Structure 1
Amino acid sequence: MKAEIEVQYASSAAKTSARSQRRKEITANLRKYWPLYVMALPGLIWFAVFRYIPMGGSIIAFQDYNVFKGITGSPFVGLKHFQHFIQFPEFLQILKNTLLINLYDILFAFPAPIILALLLNEVGKMAFKRTIQTIVYMPHFLSWVIIGGIFINLLSPETGLVNHFIKALGYDPIYFMAKTEYIRSILVGSGVWRDVGWGTIIYLAAIAGINPSLYEAAAVDGASRLRQVFVITLPSLLPTIMILFLLQIGNFLDFGFERVWVFMNGLNRENADIFDTYIYRAGLLNAQFSYTTAIGLFKSVVGLILLVTCNKLSKKLTGNGLY
């Protein structure tokens, strides 16, 4: 009995000593790196004010929220709004659209900057390389309203460049924006054109950090340029690829309201309507605040589950993860 007490006492003392040592290390780091913490403070305040504090408003998803009564005066209704949303006749179609568009975006838009970065990395002339980088990066600064106007004009059945080419081949013009079968491809394709340059710069920066001696050793062993890409470049890019992939998976149900709204109309709405556009109609136009908050909370929970699951799989398979 006495031995057990001594063991427990020693264990408790060790834990207390470890906590004390940890506090000393934190204090020492704060004193040593205080300028860096001061620099990070505005960003932390921004996240607290605009990200974390607003999370408290999610409580209205479980209430019949009334603007005049406020959160404290509105009645609690439990899971009523979640049930209403799941039983909504168009729920399955909206869910299908959201999942398919995001899946296409991952399959086609996510690999695009990786491929472009690998191609640009093989370009020997720096002037040509920088020119291409500038050209593909410029659309990133355009708003979706401008991009929507560009694509709508390009695909116009009367004046669009695409339909001019189709008519030159002897075919009838296609009303792309009026057909449901084309809208998902247009949404994903416009996103690739707009954002491929941004991702390319990130991957090019990661490629620049690869040790050149690895390529020299591979060349001595007789590896071709293509072989070097698969055995050196891509494995070295894997941590960056996985981090960006996990960040995109976390936003899997958040395709973006403005990205869809500028292209959606009454004729293609069946295949274009997603959670974000439905939230806009129901929440802002019809003032169903509790109902749309429940939808937003549903999206956040699904995104969190996907992020945690994929992060665990990534750490197990590749050893890389967000945390």
Structure 2
Amino acid sequence: MLTKIMKKAPEPPALGRWSGRRARQIKLTLMVLPFICLVLLFHYVPLLGWVYAFVDYAPGLALSQMNFAGLKYFEYLFSGISDFPIVIRNTLMLSLLKIASMAAPVLLAILISQVRSARYGKFIQTASSIPNFISWVLIYAIFFIFFSSEGGMLNRALAFFGGGETMNLLGNEDIAWGMQTAISIWKQAGWDAIIYMAAIAGIDQALYDAAAVDGAGELRKIMHVTIPGILPTFFVLFLMAVANILSNGFEQYYVFQNPMVIDRLEVFDTYIYRMGITNSQYSYATAMGMFKSIISIALLTAANTVSKKMRGESIF
């Protein structure tokens, strides 16, 4: 009888295992919940302010008391009266130059990977990454000390050695785009190279050994093993840069602006700040920010579609 009872005893239910997994999922959800709330609070709730792009905003008045403006401020963007065409030109040119300079961190990562001494390789990597952690205000101060037209170290050296003409590198609008691109490369190339160095470290060493057996030198290994290995990473970053072509930064161009180069360094973000905060044209600044967000989303969607067709993978 006891044997029959033991045989008929029910097996432990699988509910315990399921409830344990469920408990872990709940814990993980609770852990990430504060970050989700922060994203909603700072990225999605402010979108309610887009309504001010369609009214004549007046401080102190309730939204219901403001005059409905319709698409007036969007029409003003393309009317030719505003500075919008200049802002678009500067934003696109600086972004395209930044995209063209994406080869710099790739080249730096490849060069660091070729350094045989691990100590020197780490030193170069660290030294090239340090500028990324320096604020743009301090970077402007450094370049002002070296390249300002009045009292800059470069102009002092030119005057001391040859009595040559002073060079106003920070106030020359003809080289403003190239100057800012060079500064951006100097600041960010070392940090961006870390991503490509991680991709290089993930390449199967057997590929290099096979290339060496076939008689390939270092240059051929780079051309046929290293570059194809990091190409997927470069492609993803390239598509992301294209999607963010209207978001090329605020701090850099704001601190380097001066009356002599503002026509070349006025970009979307600085122009929205100047219109909204400095000139108190809140509705116009909101309309411009809304236009920028919509175009950025459209570019990101297009980049994702291109990625699916060319690589068979989406970037988000």
**TM-score band, normalised by shorter chain:** 0.7 to 0.9
Cα distance in 2 for partners of 1:59, 1:235 equals 48
Give the 5 Å matches for 1:9-28. Answer: none
Q: Which residue of structure 1 aligns with residue 123 of structure 2?
A: 131
Q: Which residue of structure 1 aligns with residue 77 of structure 2?
A: 85
Give the 5 Å matches for 1:253-292. Answer: 253-292=246-285
- Which string of whole-angstrom CA distances, capped at 9 and with x for unpartnered residues, describes residues 65-110 of structure 1? 23323444433322110111222342222211111111111112x2
TM-score (norm 1): 0.84
Give the 5 Å matches for 1:230-309. Answer: 230-309=223-302
1:249 and 1:303 in contact (8 A); partners too: no
Tell me by how many angstroms 1:118 deviates.
Answer: 0.9
1:242 and 1:321 in contact (8 A); partners too: no
1:151 and 1:190 in contact (8 A); partners too: no
More helix by share: 1
Cα distance in 1 for partners of 2:231, 2:155 equals 40
Cα distance in 1 for partners of 2:246, 2:22 equals 39
**Out of 120, 123, 127, which is 2:112 matched to?**
120
1:177 partner SS: coil
Q: Which residue of structure 2 aligns with residue 64 of structure 1?
A: 56
2:76 and 2:82 in contact (8 A); partners too: no
1:155 and 1:177 in contact (8 A); partners too: yes
Where structure 2 has 5 or more consecutive residues not aligned to the other structure, the ranges are 1-17
**Out of 167, 172, 179, which is 1:174 matched to?**
167
Tell me by how many angstroms 1:277 deviates.
Answer: 1.8
141-150 or 184-193, which moves further after superposition?
Answer: 184-193
Percent identity reads 37
Cα distance in 2 for partners of 1:246, 1:44 equals 26
Cα distance in 2 for partners of 1:55, 1:34 equals 30
Tell me which amino acid in the other structure corresponds to 2:96. Answer: L
Max radius of gyration: which structure?
2
Q: CA RMSD in A?
A: 2.3
Cα distance in 1 for partners of 2:158, 2:25 equals 63
Taking a change above 3 Å as real, the CA distance of residues 150 and 320 of structure 1, as seen in their structure-2 partners, is farther
Tell me by how many angstroms 1:231 deviates.
Answer: 2.2
**Out of 138, 141, 147, which is 1:146 matched to?**
138
1:137 and 1:196 in contact (8 A); partners too: yes
Tell me by how many angstroms 1:255 deviates.
Answer: 1.8
34-43 or 134-143, which moves further after superposition?
Answer: 34-43
Cα distance in 1 for partners of 2:21, 2:291 equals 40
Taking a change above 3 Å as real, the CA distance of residues 319 and 165 of structure 1, as seen in their structure-2 partners, is farther
Taking a change above 3 Å as real, the CA distance of residues 211 and 28 of structure 1, as seen in their structure-2 partners, is farther
Tell me by how many angstroms 1:41 deviates.
Answer: 2.5
2:307 and 2:315 in contact (8 A); partners too: no
